[in-house]
Amino acid sequence: MPRAALSRDAVVDLAVRLVDDEGPAALTLSAVAARAGVATPSLYKHVRNLAELRELLSARILGEMGELVGQAVLGRSGDEAVRALMHAWRAYVIKHPGRYAALDQRPLPSTAEVADRLLGVLMAALRSYGLTGSAAVHAARCLRAAAHGFAVLETAGGFGLPENLDASYDLLITMTIGGLRDQ
């Protein structure tokens, strides 16, 4: 990429491709600069430091997930919405394991807007269960933990037994939905 084409978005694009190709541990300013074909100091015109680049990367990932999960849930409610949400979440992680692993799981002020959109989709999927207030927050946490945990274990090769992973995930979804109905 020629130097003139660099922008904040272009730097994030390069970071995305880097973590997709080599994993989140490979994300350094010098690695991004090498991909851009520029010296590392040239990146400082677009990002303050590696921490800011990681936050921008997390915002990008959350935005992509919010879009994918939002489209999956659109027009659905109840069990159907939860099922679609969980399948979309897992599909994103499987398609982009390096990118997902680079996602900062902590709430950050710089990612609040895109994180709130994804949380809004989660809460909308739970709405038909009649959960409000802290009950909705607890349910959203459990739903996120179930989808996240399974997908992360799967992409890390954490399931060694020969049983079909799709069948296991469908069981997890059924168990999650059962738990939501019992609230």
| CATH number reported for the structural domain that contains residue 97 in this entry | 1.10.357.10
Full domain range(s) for residue 102: 59-181
Do 78 and 23 form a contact (C-beta atoms < 8 A)?
Answer: no
Q: Is residue 52 part of a domain?
A: no
Residue 143 reports pLDDT greater than 60 = yes
CA distance 164 to 14: 35
Asked whether residue 176 is domain-assigned, the answer is yes
Q: In the prediction, which pLDDT does 107 show?
A: 85
Number of domains comprising the chain: 2
CA atoms within 13 A on the CB side of 96: 20
What's the whole-model pTM score? 0.93
Residue 9 has pLDDT above 70, yes or no: yes
**Is pLDDT at 2 greater than 60 in this prediction?**
no
Q: What is the mean pLDDT of residues 104-132?
A: 93
- For residues 79 and 100, membership in a common domain is answered with yes
Could you tell me the pLDDT band of residue 183, with boundaries at 50, 70 and 90? confident
Looking at the domain assignment, is residue 108 inside a domain? yes
